[in-house]
Structure 1
Amino acid sequence: MSAFLEFHLIQNFAPSNLNRDDTGSPKDAIFGGQRRARVSSQCFKRSIRMMARDYDLIPPAHRGVRTKKLKALLRERLADREPEEAEAKIEVALGAAGLKIKEDGKTEYLLFLGEGEITAFASLIAEHWDQLPTGGDKKSKKDAKSALPPELLKKAKALLDGGKAVDVALFGRMLADLPAANQNAACQVAHAISTHRVEREFDYFTAVDDRGGDDETGAGMIGQVEFNSATFYRYAVLDLNKLHENLQGDDDLVLSSVEAFAKAMVLAVPTGKQNTFAAQNLPEFVGISLRHGVPMSLANAFEKPVTARLDQGLSDQSVERLVDYDNKVSAVYGSDNDRWLVLDITGRWPDGKGQRAQKLEALAEQARAMAASALGV
């Protein structure tokens, strides 16, 4: 049976520039015919990954690394070997798996690899050290690869299985020339959009030269930076069955991943221009819904933008809109087995609509239990 764990967040940010475009302006989008503030899904996904790493929500062995510096990482793990010989053998081993190293020592493109995959490559090289030749020019490297025993080639390619890395399992990866190593994401993350119409603002700033002389009356520097302030609707959905498949049927790791993702999703705050704005604002509302039919983003609750009122904040109104819209779409598309978990500090989510939590830790534990029940583990 399908089982989707959805995350619906209402989060109000003070003046900030969390996610910039190529001109330095805050990203935005037209939605419902009105301009909205926007933070890209990629920005929030990286924030989630960094939060999980920095707060040890995922064990190091089950983390992923996005890098072009795979060769250097393997050198670190083979530090006891002769450097030049190790580098040559690393290139041959990676070539056996279909990964090419450029002249600058980096891979052709960013790789998203699990720590387990990197460790396995280092172990393979150490185990088959004598079987791995040391190539020279391009032709000799190609000959070296073709001279490898078939079982070694098979082992090298089999290492690219995701390594049970949680963030690789969640967000997926694509290696254009190695389709067998691709992994479809178990998690989809929407671009966060403001629930209301937004206009860009400009901060004109000056900086004073601390060592300026008495005759220097002007500023040492002037400039301007764009910013906005917005109440965002954030949405993400986990396909629990796909996550179970990507993590190779490891029940405990799947449930730990759900709990860690719940915490990281809520606590993740983009780092853009934070030294300037310090917009460290956490969500006013977190709703986790278990859907057994199809996923249902509630973004259309804000197709008509929320408008400012003197007697009620944008966050409060946004939560009320979520309730009304979920009631509408769930009545048509939902299942009787769908359930909600809620952490609400606005007081606008109605009693009786789902299980409540007072702390994030409790919410994450409840999400884990909900996933366990849905998966039957």
Structure 2
Amino acid sequence: MLIELHLLQSFPVSNLNRDDLGQPKTARFGGYTRARISSQSLKRAARNLFDQHGLDPAELGVRTKRLRDAAAALLTTRGRDEERALEICQAGLEELGFAAHAATGLTKYLLYVGKPAQQLLADYCDQRWDELTKAVTEAKKRKEKQEKTPRKTAAAKTAAKKPTKQIQQEAKRILDGTRAADIAMFGRMIADNTDFNVNAASQVAHALSTHAVVNEFDYYTALDDLRPDAEPAADMIGTIDFNAACFYRYANLDLNQLAQNLPEDPDLVARSARAWLYSFIHAVPGGKQNSMAARTMPQTLLGVVRETGAWNLANAFLSPVTDVPDLMAASTQRLVDHFQQLRSFYGDTQLRNVTVASVGPNLPGVADEETAPSVDEFVSRLLTATKG
């Protein structure tokens, strides 16, 4: 069973998600340039709101390269020497199959782990302190030997040891994500060991503007407050890129996959689904917000609970909305009409619930029983439909 969320949200002057040149991201769609917000940006904005909508911070994951440092800090509070704790935790990570940089201690990629991972790694290293100390000592001896015979360095290097089955079980326990709601929703991929991968329960599309856009830039100057009045001039000159657009946003949540990722905890599954809905409705990326304050809310919300399938309704805007006095109203009508056309052509037997909410007048073409008067009622109807 899936919950689908379709949102129309208009942003004024903004640069919510920029590319490597600092410009708002765009994409060509239907032969026209559209404003774009990446799925990664939207997911992060939503993930940062989960603890405000019913999930405890302890039920959320951590994305980090600094697991070594976090575990070592815990060992230091237990009385272990700080420098030695760092060495032991690095050796512990390597033993578990996750090499860390010798100088910085950073893993080569971000690890997405449950909050207990820091504590569990510290416990693991504490329990195996003597064995890991021996491994650290041997590694230092090999390094010294290689430095003395640099020509033989390449031959002296040995392949990384593959963790034993017992160690792999320990790694699974430490990196366990079955109590982390956001890992269950967005998944986890670890290229070095696919046993730790988690299939995402949620799919999130890149948001696209319902109309064509042309990025613009704001030319600005800044003055030195202590410059004498007799020397008027700009002390700083620059530009900030921006656009203004009405976005179509789409995301879905597979409740069966979510339950599989959070086994034997139906309460956490239910609270995760609720948090997912509210967080994606309220999610706004943080790019350039201090200088542009584009803090808007979705104007039109279409929610669907379905048994099978999934419909991204972006093709409602394959031909861009143009030359209309009310861009949001025209985009809303396009969205509703396209959904009703798909519903009529492909049938709606797989649909459990359709609920529409709008900040404004009732929507033409939407039955009264499918219209919700508030966001709370909107969310409530969708969640209730998942229980039937």
TM over 0.5: yes
Per the alignment, residue 108 of structure 2 pairs with 108
CA distance in 2, matches of 1:241, 1:177: 27
Distance 1:243 1:199 in 2: 39
Cα shift at 1:148: 9.6
Instruction: Tell me: CA distance 1:88–1:81, structure 2 relative to 1, closer, same or farther (3 Å).
Output: farther
**2:206 equivalent in structure 1:** 191
Distance (Å, rounded) in 2 between the aligned partners of 1:362 and 1:69: 42
Tell me the amino acid that sits aligned with residue 63 of structure 2: R
| Selected match of 2:61 from 57, 61, 64 | 64
* 3-state DSSP of counterpart to 2:137: coil
Does 2:261 correspond to 1:246?
yes
Does residue 322 (structure 1) correspond to residue 316 (structure 2)? The answer is: no
Query: SS of the counterpart of 1:20?
Result: coil
Q: Offset at 1:131?
A: 5.5
Query: Paired residue for 2:94?
Result: 95
CA distance in 1, matches of 2:120, 2:380: 32
Separation of aligned partners in 2, 1:286 and 1:18: 21
Equivalent in the alignment of 2:252: 237
Helix, strand or coil for the counterpart of 1:320?
helix
Shift of 1:84: 3.4
- CA deviations over 1:329-349 (Å, ceiling 9, x no partner): 122334324121232113353
Larger deviation, residues 189-198 vs 79-88? 79-88
Residue type of the alignment partner of 2:70: L
The amino acid of 1:320's aligned partner reads Q
Shift of 1:220: 1.3
| Aligned counterparts, 1:164-183, within 5 A | 164-183=179-198
Q: Which moved more, 1:218-227 or 1:146-155?
A: 146-155
Q: Is the 8 A contact 1:18 1:274 kept in 2?
A: yes
Q: Which residue of 2 aligns with 1:215?
A: 230
Letter of the 1:73 partner, please give it.
Answer: A
Distance, in Å, in 1 between the alignment partners of 2:8 and 2:163 is: 55
1:120 and 2:128 are equivalent in the alignment: no
Shift of 1:35: 1.0
Which residue, out of 333, 336, 343, partners 2:357? 343
Matched with 2:146 is none
**Structure 1: distance between partners of 2:163 and 2:312:** 50
Instruction: Find the aligned partners of 1:11 and 1:180 in 2 and give their Cα distance.
Output: 39
3-state SS, counterpart of residue 136 of structure 1: helix
**Comparing 337-346 and 154-163, the one that deviates more:** 154-163
State the distance in 1 between where 2:314 and 2:164 align. Answer: 54
1 CA distance for matches of 2:247 and 2:255? 25
CA spacing shift, 1:186–1:354, aligned 2, 3 Å: farther
CA RMSD of aligned residues (A): 2.6
TM-score, length basis structure 1: 0.89
**1:365 shift after superposition:** 3.4
- Residue of structure 2 equivalent to 1:36: 34
Report how far residue 364 of structure 1 moved.
Answer: 3.0
Q: Provide the rounded CA distance (Å) in 2 between the counterparts of 1:328 and 1:351.
A: 12
Q: 1:227 aligns with which of 233, 236, 242?
A: 242
Shift of 1:219: 1.1
CA offset digits 1:16-69 (Å, max 9, x no partner): 11111111111111111111111111111111111224x264212211111111
1:138: which partner in 2?
Answer: 139
Mapped to 2, the partners of 1:355 and 1:287 lie a distance apart of 10
Match of 1:296 in 2: 311
Offset at 1:300?
Answer: 0.2
Please report how far the alpha carbon of residue 231 of structure 1 lies from its aligned counterpart in structure 2 after TM superposition: 0.4
- Counterpart Cα distance in 1 of 2:17 and 2:209: 13
Name 1:202's counterpart in structure 2: 217
User: Contact conserved, 2:90 with 2:105, CA < 8 A, in 1?
Assistant: no
Please name the residue that 2:153 is paired with.
none
Matches within 5 A, 1:274-293: 274-293=289-308
The letter for the 1-side match of 2:336 is: V
Describe the SS at the equivalent of 1:223: strand
Q: How many Å separate the matches in 1 of 2:298 and 2:241?
A: 23
**TM-fit CA distance, 1:358:** 3.2
Q: What secondary structure is seen at the aligned counterpart in 1 of 2:175? A: coil
Structure 1 residues not aligned, in runs of 5+: none
Larger radius of gyration: 2
1:12 is paired with a residue of what secondary structure?
strand
Change (3 A) 1:121 1:255: same
Cα distance in 1, alignment partners of residues 264 and 347 from structure 2: 28
Using the TM superposition, give the Cα deviation of residue 139 of structure 1 relative to its aligned residue in structure 2, in angstroms.
Answer: 6.8
For 2:161 and 2:216, how far apart are their aligned partners in 1?
Answer: 60
Matched, 1:21 2:19: yes
Go from structure 1 to structure 2 and tell me whether the alpha carbon gap of 1:215 and 1:136 turns closer, same or farther (over 3 Å shift).
farther
Kindly, what percent of the aligned residue pairs are identical?
A: 39
Work out the CA distance in 2 between the residues paired with 1:148 and 1:236. 38
What is the rounded CA distance, in whole Å, between the counterparts of 1:298 and 1:307 in structure 2?
18
Q: When the two structures are aligned, how many residues end up with a matched partner?
A: 367
Structure 1 position 273, deviation (Å): 0.8
Structure 1 residue 137 displacement after superposition: 5.4
Residue type at the aligned position of 1:71:
R
Q: 1:40 to 1:230 in 2, by over 3 A?
A: same
1:304 partner amino acid: S
Q: 2:358 corresponds to which letter in structure 1?
A: D
- SS of residue in 2 equivalent to 1:293: coil
Tell me which of 79, 82, 95 is aligned to 1:81: 79
- Structure 2 length-normalised TM: 0.87
Distance 1:371 1:75 in 2: 44
The question of whether the paired residues in 2 share the 8 Å contact of 1:52 and 1:58 is answered with: yes
